Amino acid sequence: MMQTYKVSLCIKFLASKCDYKIKKHYFVQSTNEEEATNMVLKLTRKKLPFKTASIEVEKVEVVE
């Protein structure tokens, strides 16, 4: 059964003098939590121009 998941990410950019953090939220329709997380991570990695960024999944929750 398809459900809508809210996937919260924290993206950290490692710059020379300071580090930057961006928090993003994505809403994805998927059959399970793991598939939703993988879908968002793939999309984010494609869009990210920086190779020195680290991506952490903060929270995945079902939205009703």
If pLDDT is split at 50, 70 and 90, which confidence band does 53 have? confident
- Using a pLDDT cut of 90, give the percent of the chain over it: 58
pLDDT in the model for residue 9: 94
Whether residue 3 has pLDDT greater than 90: yes
pLDDT in the model for residue 30: 95
Q: Is the pTM of this model over 0.95?
A: no
Measured CA to CA in angstroms, residue 1 lies from 19, 34, 37 at distances of 40, 14, 16
Regarding predicted confidence, which is higher, 16 or 7?
7
Whether residue 20 has pLDDT greater than 80: yes
- Let me know: does 26 contact 58? Beta carbons within 8 Å: no
Structural domains of the chain sorted by starting position, each given as residue range(s) with its CATH number in brackets: 3-63 (3.10.20.10)
- Let me know: does 20 contact 63? Beta carbons within 8 Å: no
